[in-house]
Amino acid sequence: MSLSLVRSQIPVTRRDVVVDSLRDAIVTGALEPGTFLRETALAVQLGVSATPVREAMAVLQAEGLVEIEAHRHKRVTPIDLAATRDLLEVQAHLWRLGYVRGMPHMTPAQLRELRAEVERYARVISLGEECRPEGKLEAIRASHAFHTTIIAAAANSELLRVTLDRLALVARFILLHGTSTISPAGLRLHQAILAAITIGDQEQALAHFDSLAARMIALADHGVAATPITGD
């Protein structure tokens, strides 16, 4: 199961390969939150030496997926509900800014892209796959690509970058704890946003986005307690 939400352009170095593998494993939960990471073990497992593994750690630490304590250990960032709420609030705020700036400048090609992503989301729901991990993942991919397409229209390089930087962390939480976000109701909100944008009603599109964001943030409030950590 490969995620490919965020990806280092073309992975040319071994460091890039390691970053991508580990990011996928962390986001999908194959490496559970809190898992301790020993660099030699990972190196053997991935068929590389310790050096690129260590460099990959520095990258993942910057993305917030890994926590490092110098000279002691590294581990997959545990899921803390308070921190996650903060994360989702900031991400929603940035996405909203992207909507405001991007919606007025969307090209026909970008509108088609939006429709395609909604279709993709709809396919998951119509097949009843939203409870299986693969289905959830596919829907999350579609949803994130949907938002990202709108933000890209804002033509603000930094805004695009800062939202992409946090995407993996957001995706992990939704995938592991967000049972209710990927749902027929979620699909309807995406469809409503698309419809509003298509007829040029940006106010209404924003209103629907706000509903979506509120639903997402609510997950971190009355959220289930974090999964038991099997530190290994």
Partner DNA sequence: GCACTATACATTCTATAGAATATATTGAAG
Partner DNA sequence: CTTCAATATATTCTATAGAATGTATAGTGC
Among residues 43, 45, 42, 86, the alpha carbon closest in space to that of 64 is found at 86
Q: Residue 36 in 3-state DSSP?
A: strand
Beta pairing partners, 76: 66
Residue with tokens 């559970």: 32
Structure tokens at 149: 């397409």
- What's the distance, Cα to Cα, between the start and end of the chain in Å? 23
The entry of DNA, a second copy, none near residue 86 (CB within 5 to 8 angstroms by kind) is a second copy
User: Which CB, 54 or 166, lies closer to DNA?
Assistant: 54
Tokens linked to 184? 């027929």
Q: How far apart are CA 175 and CA 134, in angstroms?
A: 10
User: Does the protein bind a second copy through residue 93 (CB under 8 A)?
Assistant: yes
State the binding string over 147-176 for a second copy (x if CB under 8 A, else -): ---------xxxx-xx--------------
Query: Within 198-227, which residues bind DNA (CB under 7 A)?
Result: none
User: In 10 A of CB 35, how many CB atoms?
Assistant: 20
Tell me the backbone φ, ψ of residue 196, rounded to 5 degrees: -65, -40
Number of residues that bind a second copy (CB under 8 A): 29
Interaction of residue 89 with a second copy, rule CB under 8 A: yes
Q: Does 83 bind a second copy (CB under 8 A)?
A: yes
* Residue 44-83 contact track with DNA, rule CB under 7 A, x = bound: ----xxxxx-xx------------x-xxxxx---------
Which of 10/225 has CB closer to DNA? 10
- Residue 58 interacts, among a second copy, DNA, none and using kind-specific CB cut-offs from 5 to 8 Å, with a second copy
- Kindly give, in sequence order, each residue whose CB lies less than 8 Å from that of residue 119, ignoring residues fewer than 6 positions away: none
Three-class SS of residue 69? strand
The footprint of DNA (CB under 7 A) covers: 12-15, 37-40, 43, 48-52, 54-55, 68, 70-74
The footprint of a second copy (CB under 8 A) covers: 12-13, 15-16, 51, 54-55, 58-59, 62-64, 70-71, 82-83, 86-87, 89-90, 93-94, 97, 156-159, 161-162
